[in-house]
Structure 1
């Protein structure tokens, strides 16, 4: 699905030489492509975390896994250092994503909670159950 937007949207038009603006627009085009990739990657990631949420809900596992979360934060901080990105930014970014995932997992757990059924009556005693 394509949405119309102006890739040259800027409040800088008329304030700088056109060659400079063209270079700026070219760089921003690359940023726009990366942003689009990030959105699609996040959507794909959330498809998998939704599967995790349904699995946890079916087996009455808690929405949050602090051990996993801590390990992931450490892992992303290491990756950030390797990529010359501030590890603190990577941690903030992942914490934001984790908070969303936990919110989704709680909602899934509520939606998929087993419905309490009335106790069945039978002539069978406890030893027969």
Structure 2
């Protein structure tokens, strides 16, 4: 059974890019805003969430904050995507519960490594 990844991004091109890149190995669901994603999460639990920060209606910071306050998604790994590379943005994401932060445009190989790192932590690795 494939691991499930939720992608939350208001840019259709980013959703499509992530779906195309990740769907070979994972079950990918794309949602275009944080509010809709929270509704989806009421009846679904992904193994990983990849979320944009700058979105209308609910930005990624608020989405992540609400995600961490919910029982079933409290510990779901989350990778934040942003066009901003400043360390203060990165630190803010880490403080509210992100496992990783990736700057757009991102390197697909780096994304692949971050996804694997979060879905298959080293202490569960079969090989070293």
Say whether the fold is shared (TM-score over 0.5): no
Report the structure, 1 or 2, having the larger helix content: 1
Range class of TM-score, shorter chain: under 0.3
Larger relative contact order, structure 1 or 2 (CA cutoff 8 Å, min sep 6): 1
TM-score of the aligned structures, taking structure 1 as reference length: 0.23
When Rg is computed on C-alpha atoms for both structures, the one with the higher figure is 1
TM-score of the aligned structures, taking structure 2 as reference length: 0.23
